[in-house]
Amino acid sequence: MSYPAFSVMVPATTANLGPGFDSVGLALDLFMSVEVTDSSSWQVIYEDEAFQDLATDDSNLIIQTIQEVARRYEKTVNPVILRVKSDIPLGKGFGSSASAIAAGIVIAGYLLNLQLTNHEKVLLGTELEGHADNVSAALLGGVVINYFDGEQIDFIRVEEIEATFITLVPSVELKTTEARGLLPSELSHKEAVKGSAASAVLAAALVQNDWVTVGKMMEKDQFHEMYRKELFPHFDDIRKHAQNLDAYGMTISGAGPSLIVAVKKGNEQEVMEHLKYHYPYYSYILVDSSIKGTYIKK
């Protein structure tokens, strides 16, 4: 069976927004494009130099995801060539692995005519990724607030996002596995209560598009920030500086290694220039949210 050529567009994401640990994801308007064409063997072609070290055979994460979705639905999928272009920085806290999984799910669904619902896509992605934050936002766009118990998933998607974002990217890459290794195996009951309260208010504020409150809650995390912030030069100073510039809030993007600052629309250039001047160690990327998740482009 041959397939007509098509492309899939997948957004970058940031996860957690502070206390929404492994549960809150936000889609960003940096995109990966995957052009899919018929082939006699599996192959991935990356057009960006930064991706040249990634696997290009059937061990590639996008291909593995396509094959796993086919297996779960007891379907046979023929090989394709995937030609990938991407604006999403690799290993910089923009959910690149979740983007690959999201691409694989949507490609498999299209090739096999599975007619997957959003719930089915997010559950598949969460099971494959291990947590819901990045992959749900990559699939659906906007902000997605998730609860996953290992078997079932529930989520709320929020489309209205009255903020824009500045990311501060250090030159040194930090692997997610290393960042997760810094986390404690347990939290005290008191810490867990504070963290869950901040997460609850964060979620409510996101639903109401109240970014003043979102920003406050972004800086009240108990689950991961205090254990990881030592990896970021001038972390506390950057936060204070951003506050003085009337930014909504600053936190770690996912597991790192980037920082993300939420700011009022229209203020982003001024805030970014101030931060650039004082903290030149970082490179800066200005991004907006994306209400688009992963979609087919023919």
**Mean pLDDT value of segment 136-147:** 98
Chain centroid to CA 63? 19
* Domain 6-159+290-297 shares a fold with domain 164-287: no
Average pLDDT taken over every residue of the chain = 94
Q: What is the predicted pLDDT for the residue at 2?
A: 66
Phi-psi region of 13 (alpha: psi -120 to 50; beta: other; left: phi over 0): beta
Q: How far apart are CA 114 and CA 73, in angstroms?
A: 8
CATH class of the structural domain 6-159+290-297: alpha beta
Residue range 194-251, pLDDT digits in tens: 999 999 999 999 999 999 999 999 999 999 999 889 889 999 999 999 999 999 999 9
Q: How far apart are CA 286 and CA 294, in angstroms?
A: 21
| Rg for the chain, CA atoms, rounded | 19
Q: Residue 176: pLDDT band by 50, 70, 90 thresholds?
A: low
Return the SS3 of 83.
strand
| CATH 3.30.70.890 is right for the domain spanning 164-287 | yes
Which of 86, 78, 76, 8 minimizes the C-alpha distance to 43? 78
Q: Is the pLDDT of residue 255 over 80?
A: no
Q: What is the predicted pLDDT for the residue at 220?
A: 96
**Mean pLDDT value of segment 178-193:** 83
Q: Residue 298: pLDDT band by 50, 70, 90 thresholds?
A: confident
Q: Where are the domains of the chain?
A: 6-159+290-297, 164-287
pTM, full prediction: 0.94
Q: What is the predicted pLDDT for the residue at 61?
A: 97
Q: Residue 168: pLDDT band by 50, 70, 90 thresholds?
A: very high
